[in-house]
Amino acid sequence: AQTVTQSQPEMSVQEAETVTLSCTYDTSENNYYLFWYKQPPSRQMILVIRQEAYKQQNATENRFSVNFQKAAKSFSLKISDSQLGDTAMYFCAFYTNAGKSTFGDGTTLTVKP
Amino acid sequence: DTGVSQDPRHKITKRGQNVTFRCDPISEHNRLYWYRQTLGQGPEFLTYFQNEAQLEKSRLLSDRFSAERPKGSFSTLEIQRTEQGDSAMYLCASSSVGEKLFFGSGTQLSVL
């Protein structure tokens, strides 16, 4: 069974600053994908960034980047130049080729002006 | 890409009634997932389909819950004899194998 742990229930950051959200996971699978999703108050889940486990290079998407440490089973999200619109709940998720998916319990991020 | 559609957006029902939700995935996606989410928690996996085959069902899912995906297109999730504990947001997502999940806007169920 897979587990995903987000140890920071709430985080805050000043606008334009950088923040890192933590995620650890546990699995016996070797091939899998990791995602960060954002869920604003509208509750629509929006993909932020995706990482394939077989790729050593960390994924980046504009202001968003990950630090993927496969041996440590760690997958943190760094948001640079934080914007007010980044305020949302962020979920780390694990997904296998067989279709199994597990989400963490989320981190509520508040960007302060 | 018209996105994942869910219907209805909101459903209020009385305890003991049956409810059915519908999800229309992105047409070229062969995988379809159902999740349940309560406020302040992450989505909890319920079941998923690859084409019309239901490949996995959560052990947390009681036999009051059933899902179908006839012909591998849209899917329905039915809850029989609803209980107050069933109140939650029910999310549908679709994907191709190995690709990201595209989520619908969800169906908010309130059981009175």
Position A77 scores a pLDDT of 98
As a whole number of angstroms, the distance between CA A20 and CA A66 comes to 9
Give, as one character, the DSSP assignment of residue A63. Answer: T
Q: Do A97 and B106 touch (CB under 8 A)?
A: no
- For residue B17, the distance in angstroms to the closest alpha carbon of chain A comes to 26
Beta pairing class for A10-14 and A107-112: parallel
Q: Do B43 and A99 touch (CB under 8 A)?
A: no
Please provide the size of chain B in residues: 112
Interval A30-54: pLDDT, tens: 889 999 999 998 889 999 999 999 8
Interval A96-107: pLDDT, tens: 877 778 999 999
Q: Do A97 and B98 touch (CB under 8 A)?
A: yes
Confidence class of residue B100 from pLDDT cuts 50, 70 and 90? confident
Beta pairing class for A32-39 and A88-96: antiparallel
Q: Do A47 and B42 touch (CB under 8 A)?
A: no
As a whole number of angstroms, the distance between CA B108 and CA B39 comes to 11
| Among chain A residues, CA nearest to B94 | A99
Chain A positions touching B93 (Cβ under 8 A) are 45
pLDDT beyond 80 at B4: yes
First and final C-alpha spacing in chain A: 41
